[in-house]
Amino acid sequence: MSDLIAIKGIKEGLLVSVSDAGGWGDTSQVLLARIDQTADFFKGAKLALAVGGRAINAADLGRLRDALSDRGVSLWAVLSDSPLTTNAAQALGLNVALPATTPQTRSVPEKEVDPEEARDEAVLVRHTLRSGRSVRHAGHVIVIGDVNPGAEVVAGGDIVVWGRLRGVAQAGASGDENAVVCALDLSPTQLRIADRIATSPARKGDPKPEMARIKNGQITAERWSPKGKAE
């Protein structure tokens, strides 16, 4: 039983790592039982949970968070290699990484992948990103849905929103000045490509599809047109 769970003290509190083996229901029961064994040690603790490659949905994470809350333990981060789990944690407002010691890891998550390869990967989000959601990826990000004000998308590559982009978008986050941001309605609160930054002018008339990119050192947006030049 004890090799399923490892507990370590870190600067931000406790880091609990659970193994990949076994169903989530059983593992979470074992974890709670372990905490109950030494309840006083855990009371008032801030806990970061590392789950490896496990895929856990938001409802299960929410239940665990509530169960930990009942024991006076506050879950503040869930670390995982699984995009489902990371997404779920994010949706609940939990951290998905420990604070980095080097500043450069802030904008794009470090992965042990060849940077060139990572840049060509794309992640597809098939729902609207509501306020408070953040999607970060080293490659391209495609959203089928809206990006609401208060939501953000940070991509090492391009960003394509098949919907309304009204939040914050940062493309070329690791410095690629050729990255583009496209949206059916390009009205971000803030738009960044590489290290340039721009805001939207007030919208006139109905929204039309646009692509934003750096031209002559500045971010400019061009309407999509059937007669457009091939790139």
Partner 1 sequence: MTAKVVTITSGKGGVGKTTATANIAVALAAAGERVVCLDGDIGLRNLDVVMGLENRIVYDLVDVVEGRARLRQAMIKDKRLPELYLIPAAQTRDKASVSPSDMIKVCNDLRPEFDWVLIDSPAGIERGFRNVVAPADLVLIVTNPDVSAVRDADRIVGLIEAEEKGPGQLILNRVKIEMVKRGDMLSTEDVLDVLAIPLIGIIPEDENILVSSNRGAPAAMDDKSRAGQAFRNIARRLKGEEVPFMSLEDNKGFLQKLAARLAPRPNRSGG
CB of 187 to partner 1, least distance (A): 12
Q: Any contact of residue 91 with partner 1 (CB under 8 A)? A: yes
First-to-final CA distance of the chain: 59
Q: In what order do the strands lie in the sheet with 134-137?
A: 134-137, 152-155, 168-171, 190-193, 196-198
**56: helix, coil or strand?**
coil
Stretch that binds partner 1, among 1-9, 54-62, 110-118, 222-230 (CB under 8 A): 54-62
112's CB contacts (< 8 A; 6+ apart) are none
Should residue 199 be labelled a site residue for partner 1 when binding is judged by CB under 8 A?
A: no
Total residues at interface with partner 1 (CB under 8 A)? 21
Using CA atoms, how far apart are residues 36 and 160, in angstroms rounded to an integer?
Answer: 47
Cβ nearer to partner 1, comparing 107 with 148? 148
93 touches partner 1 by CB under 8 A: yes
Q: Which of 5, 32, 55, 67 binds partner 1 (CB under 8 A)?
A: 67
Q: How far is the CB of 62 from partner 1 (least distance, A)?
A: 4
Q: How far apart are CA 162 and CA 4, in angstroms?
A: 43
Q: Count Cα atoms within 13 angstroms, Cβ side, for 144.
A: 4
Tokens describing residue 36: 């109950």
Q: Which stretch binds partner 1 (CB under 8 A): 34-42, 55-63, 105-113, 212-220?
A: 55-63
Least distance between partner 1 and beta carbon 108 (Å): 23
From residue 99 to residue 138, the character string flagging contacts with partner 1 as x (rule: CB under 8 A) and all else as - is -----------------------------x-xxxx-----
